[in-house]
Chain A
Amino acid sequence: MATQPVMNQGHEQRGAVALAGIGEAQRTVLTGRRRLLREMKRNRLATASAIYLLILMLLAAAAPIVAPYPPNKQSLMDRLEGPSAEHWLGTDETGRDELSRLIYGARISLFIGVIGTIGGVVLGTIIGLLSGFFGGWFDQIAMRIVDIMYAFPGILLAIFIVAVVGPSLLNIIIALTVWGTPTLSRIVRASVLSLRERDFVDAARAIGATRSRIMFRHLLPNTAAPIIVYSTLGVAGSLLTAAALGFLGVGVQPPTPEWGAMLSTGRNYMRNASHLVLFPGLMILLTVLALNIVGDALRDALDPHLN
């Protein structure tokens, strides 16, 4: 540094501070990874939940190989049978194997949960970043729209969207994206508001970084922790919402196996075939519980301030 011309030294220093911002984000990620591994080792419940989710995803991916029967293969002679050697979790009202439908249902439920959350995360992050960084009229309008969306409690907005545009896989994902966007946008905006006054942002600006570079290269990595935490919890919420939509008859339509829809049909045969209600609900509960436990562990590891 001492051998550089004097006029370049300030630039070097500002560059170093700007890089420090990126470095800080990278160090945060590295430290976060170490804290995460330490947290997972300490928290056996979180580790077990993560393993459960991994197994579920593998089963879902390998459904055509793992499932004992095709999901829509009917056998009216075997309808409404309880668990047996041929059908480990029994059969439904048209004789379809319940275990196979649950495995294929995992595909649908996880797919909707993950994609619906990704949509909300992407849109929410962009809105939150722009809102927090630019402020002004964009921020006012965006946050007023978020307030309006918050006026529709729980799954009401998702139900209304699907009711209006119709129940298809794409429309459910759109509904979940719209449902999940307000929370992420508020979280990211709050994070950006606290970060944008930091030195590394000033330094990046001073060395001529464009606004988009500052937002995506400097600010976004430093907001990764809350995004990761709420994404995990968001998948749990999306999965539960999608199952609720399926249960109410405005989600995935039969004969596609989806846990909520299976529960809705099973309800009609509850008296004589309680397994049709027990197993789909148990799958939803265990999966959502596992996601919540992992999300809590991520929060403890990556950003204890969020707790």
Chain B
Amino acid sequence: MQQYLIKRLLLAIPTILGAVTLVFFMMRIVPGDPVALFVPPDTPGPATEELKAQIRAQYGLDKPLHVQYVAFVKQMMTGDFGRSIRQNTVVAQDLLLRIPNTLQLGVLALLFSTVLGIGVGVISAVRRGSWIDRTVMVGALFGVSVPDFWLALILILFFSLNLGLFPPSGWGGPIYTVEGFKHIVLPALVLGLSGAGSLARYTRSSMLEVINNDYVRTARAKGLRESVVILQHALRTALPTIVTLLGLSFGRILSGTVIVETVFGWPGIGRYLISGINGRDYPVVQATVLLVAISFVLANLISDLILVYVDPRIRYD
């Protein structure tokens, strides 16, 4: 088991380094002068050349590529993401302010997605072929097909503008307050519903693989309650696949925050990324993209470590 853990850790490091390298080269393969990416678009013409020289020196863009790369990796690893071109604020501090908001949204969405997705997936598998199964699968297919951004707008239209139950956008304070909770419900619902559909389909599939096995039949023959048979015997065996899917769900939720935070005006890193793109604020863009990529790699690492705990076969390999 220790060997497996060490192997996974060692695999994560080059993947993170690879992501940093990809971002580095992407910013430099742009046709034309990469310095132009860092010049505010509303800079007057004569000032542009002087500003370009300043930026070249500031970001080391006048140095050889390999020197730039080493400096870039060092900066990214130490959290020195530079300053926002638009707001002249320290990008790392901006991100630190926004990460908790995205985390709250992401965790709530993941919780919702997990409970709903796994729950209906198990029910669907147990009642295979029934109207419940068919309804759940059609619902899951809708969940997988519906665009996040459209679902968000429809929920705002119905629950906020028509019924006035929830605010249409913004952050209402900490999640444990009434206003704070009301503001997070709709965005978490949108994020969670999309992931739930996919999770339901895969859970059903995994459960169907195990539900007809001999040991499940034996458990029933022993006279155990159906809930015990399903939850302790069948679901337990399907759990490794589900844990892997949860890791992927986290990634889907992370990338989904880009859209959902934009629609709901939620002050998280997804909205920060889009504002950076629209404002051509490339220090913001590269820092946010890297942060999300690294978070995803770490989330998959954690899900693999949980997998080791859940699946004894990996422990004893």
Chain A interface (Cβ within 8 Å of chain B)?
A: 144-145, 147-149, 151-156, 159-161, 163-165, 236, 240, 243-244, 247-250, 260, 263, 267, 270-271, 274, 277-278, 280-281, 284-285, 288-289, 292-293, 296, 307
Contact = CB atoms under 8 A, between A and B. Distances in A.
B252 interface: yes
Contacts of B148: 244
Interface of A is mostly: helix
Interface stretch (B38-46, B210-218, B253-261): B253-261
B297 interface: yes
Interface stretch (B56-64, B225-233, B272-280): B272-280
Contacts of B22: 148-149
Contacts, number: 129
B292 A153 contact: yes
A244 B37 CA distance: 23
Interface string B140-157: 011011111110011011
B289 A281 contact: no
B293 A285 contact: no
B252 A153 contact: yes
Chain B CB within 10 Å, residue with most, of A144, A153, A280: A153
27 contacts: A147-B15, A147-B18, A149-B22, A151-B16, A151-B293, A151-B294, A152-B19, A155-B255, A156-B258, A159-B258, A163-B277, A163-B285, A164-B26, A164-B27, A164-B37, A243-B147, A247-B149, A260-B149, A263-B150, A267-B153, A270-B161, A281-B147, A285-B147, A285-B150, A288-B145, A288-B146, A289-B145
Contact of B142 (A144, A249, A289, A307): A289
A155 B19 CA distance: 15
A239 B257 CA distance: 19
B14 interface: yes
Given A151-B18, A154-B251, A160-B26, A293 B147 contact: no
Contacts of A163: 277, 285
Contact of B145 (A151, A152, A274, A285): A285
A154 B27 contact: no
Contacts of A277: 150, 153-154, 157
A252 to B, nearest CB: 15
A52 to B, nearest CB: 13
B205 interface: yes
Nearest to B147: A284
A285 B19 contact: no
B101 interface: no
A151 B15 contact: yes
Contact of B277 (A159, A270, A281): A159
B15 to A, nearest CB: 5
B113 interface: no
B165 interface: no
Contact of B141 (A151, A161, A165, A292): A292
